[in-house]
Structure 1
Amino acid sequence: MIDHLTERQEQIVRCIREWVAERGDYPSLSEIGGCVGLSSKSAVHYQLHRLEARGVVVREAGQPYRLAW
């Protein structure tokens, strides 16, 4: 795991990794929120934006966030 991630950010990374392993695609904001206990899409987006700034996730226009590695 990347050093200095918050517990919530680690939960999100773990959620994305497990989702992809089980389903073969990337989760939506709502699905990530359900996985980590966030009911607000804006709260999920905020955390993903912070992870993107750290290079942990990437996003292309019109595509879901995905892990950078």
Structure 2
Amino acid sequence: MRIVRSARAHIARYGEAPSFRELAAAVGLSSIATVSYHLRRLRELGVIVETRGRVSARCPHCGLTP
């Protein structure tokens, strides 16, 4: 859930979702493929939605909107 927390923090600070590279840097990953894998799994679980190459951490359980 570090990815979701990082995405939420980025949205709160900048008003938009982070890029894959920004998200990777925020959670200490060097591989965009690893970020992509985790984002795909989170999307399958309904935790996030993805739009135009940016991740949007819309968490229905926490009431977050971009």
TM-score (norm 2): 0.82
The structure whose RCO (Cα within 8 Å, separation 6+) is larger is 2
Question: 1:68: how far off?
Answer: 2.4
Aligned to 2:11: 20
Q: 1:28-51: CA deviations, max 9, x gaps?
A: 000000000110000000000000
State the aligned residue count.
59
* Identity across matched positions, percent: 37
Which 4+ residue blocks in structure 1 deviate beyond 4 angstroms? none
- Map residues 2-41 of structure 1 onto 2, 5 A cutoff: 10-41=1-32
Cα RMSD (Å): 1.1
- Which residue, out of 51, 55, 59, partners 1:65? 55
Shift of residue 63, structure 1, vs aligned partner = 4.1
Structure 1, unmatched stretches of 5+, are: 1-9
Aligned equivalents of 1:36, 1:51: Cα separation in 2: 15
Q: Tell me the TM-score normalised to structure 1 length.
A: 0.79
